[in-house]
């Protein structure tokens, strides 16, 4: 096998564009100096556009989970009652964090692979009228479900005063996010998914309504104190030492995203999703989710008549291509293809072509090339739109 | 379109493995110091194995053409009579260099797209019994032909004392080369093809017989004087300032080639050729060369019913994928796919899938996916061998 090739098609970390890798190798500069301030001044408005907000989007040197924890410790008071919509592993993580802080936590659990429904929310809000915050996952990375955040938020806003707190780690930047328009209070994302960077930065958008709550909240927090981050960021600086090379990279990826155009970026992700789904339908290999629930950033496939792990091994051994397996209840049952961030239609066609070979090697008969053909047809449709 | 992606499928320069790019960014060191000597000592035996020779393979800081010129000015005396086998643009270049030095130059011309034949050589050697050197191109990059160097050399050795001088720029490192066993006197290659580096280094293998000729040759030459290069290289140094970053890269690519195994490298190139050819046969799009003449490093396609240039533009505009066009008499008539060096079966499948879309956009009806399927089948055959 060709040495030194890595074809990364997992749902994060995602591949890094060469110009971003180069940007990250810039020599270190003082993080209290003018150059860092200028860089943050350049980053701030671009990050706001990605989140669809006029508010500051805070930048923490931390992984996505710290962003989720920051949402909890800043926006939830110790005696608050909260609701967590769980539709997979990352919904569970939100619940785990809430329970760690002894917050009274209600759960609505959706079957893994299905999206949360508005009616489920309605019932829970009626059953627990004192709920102060609702947590949800925009893209559930573990299942490839995109929850209908806009609709869920509209229902919550109509029925209660609860904060709406969204884990957008695996889709913000690849899927349109209109934080202000949809009435979201906190949206968390991370650098290693659609933002095309290594892990190490968490991004947190905070609504005006959430700031009121945060200012009054007595829950102790230091590094994760969002007020400190906001008060510094509006002066183009950071409260603590930032991961400078990741900021160099962030400046570059945001530039690339604006160069492509955010609308085009989102349309590309939508196209990649459609190409992927068309391929597996043509191959007769079942998808975990229905079309309506599918995320443009990651697709989960649930083979009925071959082992997902055998396929993953063939891809790794013969093509140096990594796709992800299933987590928890879906372990060994699914494989997941990341198509977020630095991923083109050509990359997707490559993944499908290699996966077809791996399906054959996993013992399932298919018409070779038929998945690629369906993806190509989807591409041609998209390109002619 | 996804920004900052470049999919390079031209027959050189070829893509560079990430570990090689990283190696080339090492800080500069003194080229007369111990570290450079140690690097050259590591490089020398590995380069010899690639050329299939026990002799030194010289390393010039220059592009491939300088290597061809070095062959001429070192191994041909001003009053020598030579024969050049021309089967494309790079055969012509050898002839141009010879004529520049007023060397009496005979030509055997083969139709572009066909390989040179043994019978052609036999006739030329009989017609010109004083020929002192025969020049030939191993892989003719402009047509994707691999000339039968072993057979041609055997014929020449049997019939004359002429030096056998081979341009191996676009295949040595990707195709087996047994310089000593086949009786080749000079073999030239360059860094930017199967060696997976940027252009800037020329490699020149020289036989013992050639050294006798070179020592006695009065043709003036300074930078290209191979004696200077040999006398320094055997002491692990260079006569003139070397392109140090390319040497860092060369050390790494040779390491990668040995790690994969030279036999495996050659088998991979063979497989890539077979996959490419199977794809176009299945698509009903004509190949320029017959199977027996085809090079494992580059494939030329000669579409009968669509414009090669339209296809190239679609690939560039929509997939950031570059394939080469035709040169000279083949301009606008063919397109050429490079599959040498850092190219895997997955990369090839990607190229075919994108090319199928471009064929459709160029106005030719095809069964989408059928080229990919044929390439996949070829892969499965190869993998099961």
Q: Per-residue pLDDT tens for A273-316?
A: 999 999 999 999 999 999 999 999 999 999 999 999 999 999 99
**Which chain A residues are within 8 Å of B6, Cβ to Cβ?**
18
Residue of A nearest to B366 (CA): A373
Taking the C-alpha atoms of residue A155 and residue A120, their distance in angstroms, rounded to an integer, is 10
Choose the closest CB to A353 out of B3, B357, B376. B376
Closest CB from B25, B260, B349 relative to A354: B349
Percentages helix, strand, coil for chain B (3-state, rounded to 5) are 45, 15, 35
- Find out whether the peptide bond into A122 is cis, omega within 30 degrees of 0: no
Instruction: Read off the pLDDT band of A175 (50, 70, 90).
Output: very high
Confirm if A191 and A199 have CB atoms less than 8 A apart: yes
What would the mean pLDDT of B66-83 be, rounded to a whole number? Answer: 97
Q: Which of A17, A372, A379 sits opposite B4 (nearest CB)?
A: A17
- Average pLDDT (B157-175) is 97
Contact: B260, A3; criterion CB under 8 Å: yes
Q: What is the pLDDT of residues B199-210, one digit of tens each?
A: 999 999 999 999
Which pLDDT does position B385 carry in this prediction?
43
Percent of chain A with pLDDT over 70: 99
* CATH 3.40.640.10 segments of chain A: 18-259
Predicted pLDDT of residue A8 = 97
Looking at residue A1, its pLDDT comes to 87
pLDDT value for A154: 98
Whether residues B3 and A20 touch (CB distance < 8 A) is answered with no
pLDDT of residue A345: 98
CA distance A185 to A39: 26
What is the full DSSP assignment across B108-156? Answer: EE--TTS---HHHHHHHHHH-TTEEEEEEESEETTTTEE--HHHHHHHH
Q: What is the pLDDT of residue B382?
A: 77
Which residues from chain B sit within 8 angstroms of residue A19, using beta carbons? 4
Average of per-residue pLDDT across A153-173: 97
What whole-number distance in Å separates Cα of residue B186 and Cα of residue B241?
A: 23
The C-alpha of A369 sits at a distance from chain B's nearest C-alpha, in angstroms, of 4
Query: What are the residues whose beta carbons fall under 8 Å from the beta carbon of A47, sequence distance 6 or more?
Result: A57, A59, A203, A250, A254
DSSP-derived 3-state class of residue B40: helix
Residue A221 annotated as binding site: no
List CB contacts (< 8 A) between A347 and chain B: 350
Give the containing element (helix H, strand E) for B230.
helix B226-233
Query: pLDDT per residue over A255-278, tens digit each?
Result: 999 999 999 999 999 999 999 999
Res B116 pLDDT > 80: yes
pLDDT of residue B383: 64
pLDDT tens digits, B11-58 = 999 999 999 999 999 999 999 999 999 999 999 999 999 999 999 999
Q: For residue range B244-264, list pLDDT tens digits in order.
A: 999 999 999 999 999 999 999
The residue of chain A nearest to residue B361, with distances taken between CA atoms, is: A380
Q: Are B118 and B148 in contact (CB under 8 A)?
A: yes
Rounded to the nearest angstrom, the minimum Cα separation between B379 and chain A is 9
**Structure confidence at residue B1 as a pLDDT band (50, 70, 90):** confident
| Residues of B whose CB is below 8 A from A363 | none
Q: Give the per-residue pLDDT at A353.
A: 98
d(CA A20, CA B140): 37
A380 pLDDT more than 80: yes
- What is the average pLDDT value for chain A, to the nearest integer? 97
Return residue ranges of chain B for CATH 3.90.1150.10. Answer: 7-13+261-384
Nearest CA to A64 among A171, A181, A177?
A171
Q: How far is B18 from chain A (nearest CA, A)?
A: 7
Cβ-defined contact of B380 to A370 (cutoff 8 Å): no
Chain A residue nearest residue B378, CA to CA: A357
Which residues are CB-neighbours of A218 under 8 A, at least 6 positions away?
A: A77, A78
Decide if B5 and A17 are in contact by the 8 Å CB cutoff: yes
How does DSSP classify residue A337? E
Question: Do the chains contact at B3 and A354, CB–CB below 8 Å?
Answer: no
Q: Per the CB < 8 Å rule, is B345 touching A319?
A: yes
Domain A7-13+261-384, CATH: 3.90.1150.10
* Length of chain B, in residues: 385
pLDDT in tens, B272-288: 999 999 999 999 999 99
Q: Please tell me the distance from the alpha carbon of residue B298 to that of residue B279, in angstroms, as a whole number.
A: 14
Count of CB atoms within 10 A of residue B222's CB? 9
Chain A residues closer than 8 Å to B374 by CB: 369
**A385 has pLDDT over 50:** no
Pairwise CB contact (< 8 Å): A346 & B376:
no
Average the pLDDT over B219-246 and give the result: 97
pLDDT at A382: 77
Residue B201, SS3 per DSSP:
strand
Beta-ladder partners of A321: A7
| CATH of span B18-259 | 3.40.640.10
């Amino acid at each position: 096998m060709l040495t030194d090739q890595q074809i990364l098609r997992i749902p994060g970390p995602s591949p890094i564009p060469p110009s971003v890798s180069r940007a990250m190798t810039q020599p270190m500069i003082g993080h209290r100096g003018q150059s860092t301030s200028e860089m943050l001044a350049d980053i701030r408005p671009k990050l706001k556009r990605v989140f669809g907000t006029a508010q500051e989007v805070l930048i923490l040197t931390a992984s996505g989970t710290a962003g989720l924890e920051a949402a909890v410790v800043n926006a939830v008071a110790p005696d608050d009652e909260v609701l967590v919509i769980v539709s997979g592993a990352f919904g569970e993580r939100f619940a785990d964090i809430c329970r760690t802080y002894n917050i009274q936590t209600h759960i609505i659990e959706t079957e893994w692979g299905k999206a949360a429904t508005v009616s489920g929310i309605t019932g829970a809000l009626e059953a627990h009228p004192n709920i102060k915050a609702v947590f949800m996952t925009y893209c559930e990375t573990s299942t490839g479900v995109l929850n209908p955040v806009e609709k869920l938020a509209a229902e919550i806003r109509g029925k209660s005063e609860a904060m709406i707190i969204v884990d957008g780690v695996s889709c913000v930047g690849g899927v349109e996010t209109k934080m202000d328009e949809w009435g979201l209070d906190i949206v968390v994302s991370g650098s290693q998914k659609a933002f095309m960077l290594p892990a190490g930065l968490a991004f947190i958008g905070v609504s005006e309504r959430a700031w009121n709550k945060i200012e009054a909240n007595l829950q102790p927090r230091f590094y994760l104190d969002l007020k400190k981050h906001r008060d510094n960021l509006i002066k183009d600086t950071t409260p603590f030492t930032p991961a400078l090379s990741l900021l160099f990279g962030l400046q570059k990826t945001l530039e690339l995203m604006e160069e492509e155009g955010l609308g085009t970026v989102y349309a590309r992700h939508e196209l990649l999703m459609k190409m992927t789904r068309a391929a597996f339908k043509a191959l007769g290999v079942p998808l975990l989710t229905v079309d309506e629930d599918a995320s443009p950033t990651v697709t989960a496939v649930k083979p009925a008549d071959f082992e997902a792990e055998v396929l993953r091994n063939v891809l790794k051994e013969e093509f140096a291509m990594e796709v992800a397996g299933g987590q928890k209840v879906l372990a060994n049952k699914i494989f997941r293809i990341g198509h977020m961030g630095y991923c083109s239609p050509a990359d997707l066609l490559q993944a499908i072509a290699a996966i077809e070979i791996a399906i054959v090697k996993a013992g399932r008969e298919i018409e070779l090339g038929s998945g690629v053909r369906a993806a190509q047809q989807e591409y041609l449709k998209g390109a002619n739109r």
